[in-house]
A and B are shown apart, each in its own frame.
Chain A
Amino acid sequence: MSGMISQLQASRPTDLDAALALLAEAGDPWRPLAGGTDLLVEAQHGRLQHRRFLDLSGLQGSLGGLRWHADGTLEVGALCTYLQLQRDARVQAEYPALCAMARLVGAAQIQARGTLAGNIENASPAADVAPVLLALGARVRLQSAARGVREVALDDYWTGYRQTVRGQDELIVAVLVPPQPFGPHAQWSRKVGTRSWQAITKVGIAARIGWAEGRIVEARIVAVSMAATPCRVAAIEQALLGCSGEEPDLAARIATAQQSALRPLDDVRSTAAYRATVFGRLVLQAVCETKGAAGDAGKGGSAA
């Protein structure tokens, strides 16, 4: 049953404590509102589940921007937009997959408003940037008035279709991306939508594949639009370990591992058969291209 936008309530606190105090209130939950790029679509389609909205735009001071920790961890503030992220030179150098996907979110207007934290909390199985964060081993920092701060690995953050571990008194305050052990060349992602831009992913992959001496020594493979949430595919990750990428039966091994782990659906955007076939091919492409990149990087290194 849909209500009317004029009946909705919004509050715009200007410090974090006030925001957390509102979230801790009993009664109708407050829904945090950052870029609004998902929320306004829900409103337009009459699908808003909430009646109270916590406008975070007054918290730029505490939740905006990017910071680098001494250990090389990237801290992305909850109000950091895709545009701010992709414009940062160090992010471009160290997390190229993150920048590449940030450039494919919606269009320029969406990238200027949408936030990484919002992309995580929206918990769409077709998310663009959140799966890359999962492949890179990111953590989510939550804060509440009563419980203080806690950090949750993205692996554990989504609990089901559009479900997260966030309590209704909690707010995402930052996303933490650790330094990458295999550098930029191990990162690989690809989004397959029906058109070039402004597309919703019908099948996608985000991966980190570490190579040493021509063998895969680490694989984090994230499937997009293949399950209720973006998810790592442990069976494929294990199947890839130790591989050289030259195995003649590699495609079959990936397919077998995938079959046991993923059950994609037929829906309005694509078919289960297409998703299953193309995802297997994307894994293989990720293996080949990260291997090539690792090799080129190695050569570059020896030449230097």
Chain B
Amino acid sequence: MNIARPVAARAHVGHSRPRPDADAKVRGTAPYVDDLPFEGLHGATIRTPIARGRVTGLRFGDLSDLGADWSEFAVVTAQDIPRRSAKDGVDPNLVALIERDQPFLVRDAFEHMHEPVALIAHPSLEVVRAAAERVEVVVEALPARLDFRTAGEDAVFKTITVRRDAGEDADAFAAELAACAVRVEGVYETQAQEQCYIEPNGMIARVVCDPDDLPSPERPSVPTWPSKPFRVEVEGSLQCPYYVHKALCSLFALPEDGVRVAATLAGGGFGGKEDYPSILAGHAGLLALKTRRPVKMIYDRAEDMVATTKRHPSQSRIVTGHDADGRLRCVQIDCRMDGGAYVTLTPVVLSRGVIHAVGPYEVPHVRITAQAVHTNTPPHGAFRGFGAPQTVFAFERHMDRVATELGLDPAELRRRNLVVRGGTLAVSQTIEEPIALEAWLDEALDAFDWRGRRARAEAFNHEAQVSGVARRRGVGLATFMHGAGFTGSGEDYLASKVKVRATAEGQLEICTAQTEIGQGSIAVFSQIAADTMGLQLADVAVARPDTDQVPNSGPTVASRTSMVVGHLVARASEDLLGRLERAGLLGEADARPEGEALGEDVVVGERPSAMVQGRGWSYRPEALRRALAAAAASGDAEIAEGWAQYERPPGGAWDDTVYKGVAYGTYAWANYLAEVEVDGLTGEVKVLDFLASQEIGRVLNPLLAHGQIEGGVVQAIGWALLEDCVWKDGHLTNGNMTNYVVPTAADVPPIQVRFQESPYAYGPWGAKGIGELPMDGPAPALLNAIAHATGIDLCALPASPERIVAAQLAAEEAR
């Protein structure tokens, strides 16, 4: 029976509902992993002292001045881990990710500095930390490869090529390029970046095993691996519970129900807690297994910075060929990214970089070759943007250099090349959605008074030059897009599932594996479910991500939480509504009478998406609550649970072998503008003003969407102007917040955030992902503004005062 009229409505979506988790976080009462009540041992990690070599031994130094003795410690090395898994025959010491090449603990050869060799545990945190520094890792040094740019082809472990039209053939492409009226070349470099989440990595592990496997007075020491079935449970700060789950099942050769992974509140992630927590969970789990006691491992800032992942450094060589009016005819890009010592997530980062490398422009002939290279540094990993900021920087900086070459306004050059609906991106993806990139560009330019500002900056500079003042102003632009969700067929492989369930209190509980890492997922999921069902926000709760309780809805990455998983939340809520109706728990008597007010800010007639019927607000809220409570009381999951699993939207597919097709179901499109002032004496750059304009489908929560964009812009200002990882012999020498310089509030300009909404049919109420988008545009916009201000044509990040002054001196020399 389906009595409900299609009344789709929204009372919460589109409104700035506060985050349910905000109050405790703002007050400082929210418990993070290190705040949880804990009784057990504290673990510490012993690491390699150089970039490459073999471990030949461990020397345990004297602890008498600490009042301690090594007999009080548990020590775990790779020797505690079997060489072949009883489960799948592979070496369980290798972390289960894309490739299995990274060890939890070094057995012999090692590939980077600060690689874990041994783990120690002790009841006192202070003692274990001091003792860890008394362990010497004895090594034989081997030559290390430290510069990804000059590394030979033998260091390349992943190559991706994109070919379009004449780009399929090298000679044909060369001929096309030679025929272009204008050719411009450039080399662009970007540096590593540290995520600098507020809360460092931390994990607690517990082992549940048979009493026979526990130590006793008669048998004080037990083998590391229990003889009977056991369970490993971890909780900690992480983005992807099921990644950690997979890694632990493999390490401990346990079935899926032998491992439980629960997320604690996370003090930020930014990608830095995508893959690394698997290693830390493995370490804590190994110590817990060896000791049969709970073990907590919390990194301090220094250890977190030197040992965990950063953004991939990159180098892009770009050659473009244009018609005399600036229209792009040919693009050739040769891109390299530094993967560090192990494969980890690099192939996917490279892939996203490649797909975003030519931006939102229509180019007939394309030839891209991208390589990932091994070096002896800690593996580079996920960081907001995931490869796109690197290639977007290169191409958008290049576009300004083309405009200078042609004597064209940089905005006009972009306008002439923007892809239109029915047009095709570099990866041969035809844009089917309604887009209006030219109108969106003009809207942003007008809002920033692009022409007026450029003219005023030029007048200011003229005046300054005449009066001998060293300050110069400039205005810059970047035009770009960001695809949301996993690339290509990635979402098909993930096949994410979401469950919602009725509770005895008459509430709806949303069960996903998504972790709240500051982006507002709890608030947004609640808004989506409440509007789909017709509930108030107070009637909706979000379950803790815990692999014992929630289905695998995929990782909290790739701008996929609101768009992909949020859509599943809507569909699962819809599914439950249908079950309640079919069970007779909702009927005619419960229908909201025709014409009854839906509430002050309820908008009638908008559907959540093409895949959701949108019958929310068909029933009275009190009837829904009663039905939910009754469903829960029935104890029948068929009535009390709603489910949804990912289904690929209709349309073309992605072909991974030739890198052609629908790379992403949709893109967010953006224009970012910046005005800067450069102090010619010191090379310091002050960002005077910033505008971030983007089309994001539908704004689910304006306050949170603004926050996402502003935060991303600030993080990208840091990458563009301040942050630099200083490496020496494979060691990060500025691994602290004193010398790794992130922006403070004083470095942040006014940021004007503007949204356009062109709903995406397969996102909740049309929403697209926005988490990564704001990381892509600021760096090229700022360096373009610096070039406008000073004529200094910087092509490498960061645009540090040192680089600017060096460029001034080089220019003086050349004169």
Residues of A within 8 A of B (CB): 1-7, 41, 45-46, 192, 194-200, 268-271, 273-274, 277-278, 281-282, 285
Contacts of A4 in B (CB 8 A): 66, 126-127, 130
A1-B129 Cα distance, complex, nearest whole Å: 12
- Taking the closest CB of chain A, its distance from the CB of B411, in whole angstroms, is 30
Bits for B784-815, please: 1 = Cβ < 8 Å to A, else 0.
00000000000000001110011001000000
Contacts of A277 in B (CB 8 A): 805, 809
A3-B66 Cα distance, complex, nearest whole Å: 7
- Taking the closest CB of chain A, its distance from the CB of B437, in whole angstroms, is 35
Bits for B712-736, please: 1 = Cβ < 8 Å to A, else 0.
0000000000100010000001101
Report whether B133 and A46 are in contact in the complex, using a CB–CB cutoff of 8 Å: yes
Contacts of A3 in B (CB 8 A): 65-66, 130
Report whether B682 and A278 are in contact in the complex, using a CB–CB cutoff of 8 Å: yes
Report whether B133 and A1 are in contact in the complex, using a CB–CB cutoff of 8 Å: yes
Report whether B302 and A45 are in contact in the complex, using a CB–CB cutoff of 8 Å: yes
Q: Considering the complex, give the chain A residue whose CB is closest to the CB of B733.
A: A268
Report whether B801 and A192 are in contact in the complex, using a CB–CB cutoff of 8 Å: yes
Sample (22) of A-B pairs whose CB atoms are under 8 Å apart: A1-B134, A2-B130, A3-B65, A3-B130, A4-B66, A4-B126, A4-B127, A192-B801, A195-B722, A195-B747, A196-B746, A197-B746, A198-B744, A269-B739, A271-B802, A273-B802, A273-B806, A274-B805, A278-B683, A278-B801, A281-B682, A282-B682
- B741 part of interface (Cβ distance < 8 Å): yes
Report whether A268 and B809 are in contact in the complex, using a CB–CB cutoff of 8 Å: no
Q: Considering the complex, give the chain B residue whose CB is closest to the CB of A270.
A: B802
A269-B746 Cα distance, complex, nearest whole Å: 20
- B176 part of interface (Cβ distance < 8 Å): no
Task: Say yes or no: A196-B747 contact (C-beta < 8 A), given A45-B736, A268-B734.
Answer: yes
Contacts of B683 in A (CB 8 A): 274, 278
Contacts of A194 in B (CB 8 A): 722, 741, 800-801
A273-B742 Cα distance, complex, nearest whole Å: 23
A271-B803 Cα distance, complex, nearest whole Å: 10
- B743 part of interface (Cβ distance < 8 Å): yes
Report whether B681 and A281 are in contact in the complex, using a CB–CB cutoff of 8 Å: yes
A3-B302 Cα distance, complex, nearest whole Å: 17
Contacts of A45 in B (CB 8 A): 302, 736
Please name 4 further chain A to chain B contacts, defined as beta carbons within 8 Å, in addition to the given A7-B66, A278-B682, sorted by A numbering: A1-B133, A2-B133, A4-B66, A274-B802
Q: Considering the complex, give the chain B residue whose CB is closest to the CB of A275.
A: B802
How many interface contacts (CB-CB < 8 Å) are there between A and B?
Answer: 73
- Taking the closest CB of chain B, its distance from the CB of A111, in whole angstroms, is 14
Contacts of B739 in A (CB 8 A): 200, 268-269
Report whether B802 and A192 are in contact in the complex, using a CB–CB cutoff of 8 Å: no
- Taking the closest CB of chain B, its distance from the CB of A216, in whole angstroms, is 19
Contacts of A41 in B (CB 8 A): 738
- Taking the closest CB of chain A, its distance from the CB of B681, in whole angstroms, is 5
Contacts of B738 in A (CB 8 A): 41, 200
List which B118-146 residues lie within 8 A (CB) of chain A: 126-127, 130, 133-134
- B443 part of interface (Cβ distance < 8 Å): no
Contacts of A46 in B (CB 8 A): 133
8 nearest CB pairs, A to B: A196-B746, A197-B746, A274-B802, A194-B741, A281-B681, A4-B126, A268-B734, A192-B682
- Taking the closest CB of chain A, its distance from the CB of B73, in whole angstroms, is 15
- B442 part of interface (Cβ distance < 8 Å): no
Report whether A274 and B806 are in contact in the complex, using a CB–CB cutoff of 8 Å: yes
Contacts of B743 in A (CB 8 A): 195
Report whether B741 and A195 are in contact in the complex, using a CB–CB cutoff of 8 Å: yes
Contacts of B733 in A (CB 8 A): 268
Residues of B within 8 A of A (CB): 65-66, 126-127, 130, 133-134, 302, 681-684, 686, 722, 726, 733-734, 736, 738-739, 741-744, 746-747, 800-802, 805-806, 809
- Taking the closest CB of chain B, its distance from the CB of A150, in whole angstroms, is 34
Contacts of B800 in A (CB 8 A): 194
A6-B684 Cα distance, complex, nearest whole Å: 43
- Taking the closest CB of chain B, its distance from the CB of A258, in whole angstroms, is 15
A250-B807 Cα distance, complex, nearest whole Å: 23
Report whether B133 and A278 are in contact in the complex, using a CB–CB cutoff of 8 Å: no
* B126, B726, B741: the one within 8 Å of A5 (CB): B126
- Taking the closest CB of chain A, its distance from the CB of B726, in whole angstroms, is 5
- Taking the closest CB of chain B, its distance from the CB of A70, in whole angstroms, is 41
A14-B126 Cα distance, complex, nearest whole Å: 31
Q: Considering the complex, give the chain A residue whose CB is closest to the CB of B681.
A: A281
Task: Say yes or no: A282-B681 contact (C-beta < 8 A), given A268-B733, A268-B739, A269-B739.
Answer: yes
* Residue in A4, A6, A192, A271 with the greatest tally of chain B CB atoms within 10 Å: A4
Report whether A196 and B66 are in contact in the complex, using a CB–CB cutoff of 8 Å: no
* Residue in A1, A194, A270, A274 with the greatest tally of chain B CB atoms within 10 Å: A194
A274-B744 Cα distance, complex, nearest whole Å: 23
A270-B805 Cα distance, complex, nearest whole Å: 12
Contacts of B134 in A (CB 8 A): 1
Q: Considering the complex, give the chain A residue whose CB is closest to the CB of B746.
A: A196
A8-B4 Cα distance, complex, nearest whole Å: 73
- Taking the closest CB of chain B, its distance from the CB of A160, in whole angstroms, is 22
Contacts of B747 in A (CB 8 A): 195-197
- Taking the closest CB of chain B, its distance from the CB of A275, in whole angstroms, is 9
- Taking the closest CB of chain A, its distance from the CB of B558, in whole angstroms, is 30
Report whether A278 and B805 are in contact in the complex, using a CB–CB cutoff of 8 Å: yes
Report whether B681 and A285 are in contact in the complex, using a CB–CB cutoff of 8 Å: yes
Contacts of A192 in B (CB 8 A): 682, 684, 801
A270-B302 Cα distance, complex, nearest whole Å: 21
A282-B470 Cα distance, complex, nearest whole Å: 12
Contacts of B681 in A (CB 8 A): 278, 281-282, 285
A150-B299 Cα distance, complex, nearest whole Å: 47
A195-B747 Cα distance, complex, nearest whole Å: 7
- Taking the closest CB of chain A, its distance from the CB of B572, in whole angstroms, is 45
A275-B741 Cα distance, complex, nearest whole Å: 18
Contacts of B805 in A (CB 8 A): 273-274, 277-278
A194-B684 Cα distance, complex, nearest whole Å: 8
Contacts of B802 in A (CB 8 A): 270-271, 273-274
* A6, A199, A271, A282: the one within 8 Å of B741 (CB): A199
Contacts of B734 in A (CB 8 A): 268
A7-B743 Cα distance, complex, nearest whole Å: 36
Contacts of B302 in A (CB 8 A): 45
Q: Considering the complex, give the chain A residue whose CB is closest to the CB of B738.
A: A200
A6-B129 Cα distance, complex, nearest whole Å: 13
Contacts of B130 in A (CB 8 A): 2-4
Q: Considering the complex, give the chain B residue whose CB is closest to the CB of A199.
A: B741
Contacts of A196 in B (CB 8 A): 686, 744, 746-747
A81-B722 Cα distance, complex, nearest whole Å: 30
A194-B717 Cα distance, complex, nearest whole Å: 13
A198-B739 Cα distance, complex, nearest whole Å: 11
- Taking the closest CB of chain A, its distance from the CB of B328, in whole angstroms, is 37
A269-B726 Cα distance, complex, nearest whole Å: 9
Q: Considering the complex, give the chain B residue whose CB is closest to the CB of A277.
A: B805
A1-B588 Cα distance, complex, nearest whole Å: 77
Contacts of A273 in B (CB 8 A): 802, 805-806, 809
A278-B733 Cα distance, complex, nearest whole Å: 24
Q: Considering the complex, give the chain B residue whose CB is closest to the CB of A107.
A: B744
Q: Considering the complex, give the chain A residue whose CB is closest to the CB of B134.
A: A1
A266-B753 Cα distance, complex, nearest whole Å: 40
* Residue in A2, A5, A268, A277 with the greatest tally of chain B CB atoms within 10 Å: A268
Contacts of B126 in A (CB 8 A): 4-6
- Taking the closest CB of chain B, its distance from the CB of A282, in whole angstroms, is 7
- Taking the closest CB of chain B, its distance from the CB of A7, in whole angstroms, is 8
Contacts of A269 in B (CB 8 A): 739
- Taking the closest CB of chain A, its distance from the CB of B562, in whole angstroms, is 32
* Residue in A5, A274, A285 with the greatest tally of chain B CB atoms within 10 Å: A274
A6-B134 Cα distance, complex, nearest whole Å: 18
- Taking the closest CB of chain B, its distance from the CB of A42, in whole angstroms, is 12
Q: Considering the complex, give the chain B residue whose CB is closest to the CB of A46.
A: B133
A185-B684 Cα distance, complex, nearest whole Å: 25
A7-B65 Cα distance, complex, nearest whole Å: 9
Q: Considering the complex, give the chain A residue whose CB is closest to the CB of B302.
A: A45
A85-B522 Cα distance, complex, nearest whole Å: 47
